[in-house]
Amino acid sequence: MIYQQFFDRVLTRTDPEWVHHRAFGAIRAAEPVLRAAPVPGRPVRALGLTFPNVIGLAAGFDKNAVGIDALGGLGFGHVEIGTVTGLPQPGNPQPRLFRLPADRAILNRMGFNNDGAEVVARRLATRAERVARSARRGPVLGVNIGKSKVVPDDDQAAVEADYELSARLLAPLADYLVVNVSSPNTPGLRNLQAVERLEPLLRHVRRTADDATEASGRRVPLLVKIAPDLADEDVDGVADLAGAIGLDGIIATNTTISRAGLRTDAGVVEAYGAGGVSGRPLTARSCEVLRRLRARVAPDLTLIGVGGITTVEDARERLDAGADLLQGYTAFIYEGPLWARRIAAGVAAVPGRG
């Protein structure tokens, strides 16, 4: 309650991106204290891995792998870093992040701002050495990779080479790897969700990841993240493709380009401009997509539900719809640093839940 009052009265009047950097800095500074706290919830087995609990932090918060273990200390059983691109890039011009408090939502057009795969790989290698010396393993690490903006989306060979660079460098350091083709903030990226474009891309990333990890004898699980704006028949197409090529999982869903049903004044939203909306407005559609996927894919294919999960009841509904794991981001911003612990503990209070 104190956090929400502070958020509504103070933080909503402050630039969101500035607040993000300051808050994340404070979280990283508190890592020694946070990591000493017990992990909430119960372990979950998925993707051939044991997750400390069911709730993870979605990609977008820690784009550059600088605070993985501190975030784990806040109660996240897994942290998905990125989106990381083959080439470093500054992202879209600021301002590019906007709050919609009336909707408990965020509108962003960040544009995959990140340090690039080579720098992030070095950072992850340093962390891996540190974790190997520690008694605490930390959260499961997901690495989310996307297309560099300068690579034309209509050049399939160039797109595959760009994703190959990231997969080659990052797959050996990831517990699982995610191909992001669903952000609305990189021009042309969502065109890659079409099955005829997606299949060769995923096959290429799979081969690259296998080659990169061959020496270790470890197979890195591969997932794809899809948009809530896909038509139902396209969701079915991705589900069928996942089975056909042996994909390990699907993350449903990314942000939406829809502005339907928002409580925020339409003029304000229009003034903010283009971008993807996350948070409460996604709850219904993200759950629909997840339920549709679960009805179509094999029982052993992992589904990660994300989009509009705010309360324990939301989390339980997503699990009932077929999710194996959950992720959040926007609710973490609106609900505060104890949010992941509340979700993990609340879900674990139900017999049979993680």
Q: What is the pLDDT of residues 320-332, one digit of tens each?
A: 999 999 999 999 9
Which residue matches tokens 């160039």? 158
Residue 127: per-residue pLDDT: 98
Amino acid of residue 277 = V
Q: Write phi, then psi, for 125 (nearest 5 degrees).
A: -65, -40
Q: What is the pLDDT of residues 171-211, one digit of tens each?
A: 999 999 999 999 999 999 999 999 999 999 999 999 999 99
Residue 350: per-residue pLDDT: 82
Q: Can you tell me the distance from the alpha carbon of 235 to that of 297, in angstroms, rounded to the nearest whole number?
A: 11
Instruction: Examine the pLDDT at 106 and tell me if it is beyond 80.
Output: yes
Q: Can you tell me the distance from the alpha carbon of 259 to that of 269, in angstroms, rounded to the nearest whole number?
A: 8
Mean pLDDT computed over 85-96? 98
Where along the chain do its domains lie? 2-348
| Binding site members | 59-63, 83, 108-112, 144, 180, 185, 225, 253-255, 279, 308, 329-330
Instruction: Examine the pLDDT at 352 and tell me if it is beyond 80.
Output: no
Q: Going by C-beta distance under 8 Å and a sequence separation of 6 or more, which residues neighbour residue 26? A: none
Active site residue 278: no
| Binding site members for FMN | 59-63, 83, 144, 180, 225, 253, 279, 308, 329-330
Tell me how many degrees the CA angle 90-92-95 measures, rounded to the nearest 5: 115
Mean pLDDT computed over 336-348? 97
Of 166, 182, 183, 286, which residue is the catalytic one? 183
Instruction: Examine the pLDDT at 243 and tell me if it is beyond 80.
Output: yes
Q: Can you tell me the distance from the alpha carbon of 76 to that of 113, in angstroms, rounded to the nearest whole number?
A: 23
Task: Identify the CATH number of the domain defined by range 2-348.
Answer: 3.20.20.70
Peptide bond into 253 cis (omega under 30): yes
Q: What is the pLDDT of residues 1-57, one digit of tens each?
A: 788 888 888 888 899 999 999 999 999 999 999 999 999 999 999 999 999 999 999
Residue 292: per-residue pLDDT: 98
